[in-house]
């Protein structure tokens, strides 16, 4: 059975996200930020948008505001953690802004819910 181009693209993106996570650090959070960006933003926002002279992101707060704005415009309904993961991914990849100390460390996202422990009898 032949895979569709969409399925092949998703596999490619997932592989790229995993590779990026190894290089960037904080693997789970970085991989999630990269995956969200590749799947939802790359169609319109290639690398050149981050390098242009008149970019709207000039510091950590404005970068996060742009991520929040565009996920809202695109009706993605991301959680605040997802906005933070994408912001951190973009910041690591393109900007190198100093995040506010209140941001703290990124907590990895669980891909699957944990199973409840069954008490021993």
118: confidence class by pLDDT, cuts 50, 70, 90: low
**pTM over 0.85, yes/no:** no
Please tell me the distance from the alpha carbon of residue 102 to that of residue 44, in angstroms, as a whole number: 31
What does the chain come to in residues?
Answer: 121
Token look-up 């991520």 returns: 67
Per residue in 36-47, pLDDT (tens digit) is 998 888 777 766
Q: What does the longest C-alpha to C-alpha distance in the chain come to?
A: 66
pLDDT at 18: 61
Domain ranges for the chain: 27-47+55-99
Per residue in 4-21, pLDDT (tens digit) is 567 777 767 776 766 655
Q: Determine contact, residues 74/40, Cβ cutoff 8 Å.
A: yes
């Amino acid at each position: 059975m032949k895979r569709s181009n969409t399925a092949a693209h998703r596999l490619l993106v997932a592989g790229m996200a995993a590779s990026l996570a190894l290089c960037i650090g904080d693997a789970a959070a970085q991989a999630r930020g990269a995956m969200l960006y590749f799947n939802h933003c790359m169609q319109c926002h290639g690398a050149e948008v981050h390098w242009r002279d008149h970019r709207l992101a000039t510091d950590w707060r404005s970068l996060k505001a742009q991520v929040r704005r565009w996920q809202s415009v695109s009706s993605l309904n991301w959680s605040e953690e997802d906005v933070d993961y994408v912001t951190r991914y973009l910041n690591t990849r393109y900007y190198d802004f100093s995040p506010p100390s209140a941001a703290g460390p990124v907590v990895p996202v669980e891909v699957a819910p944990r199973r409840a422990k069954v008490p021993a009898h």
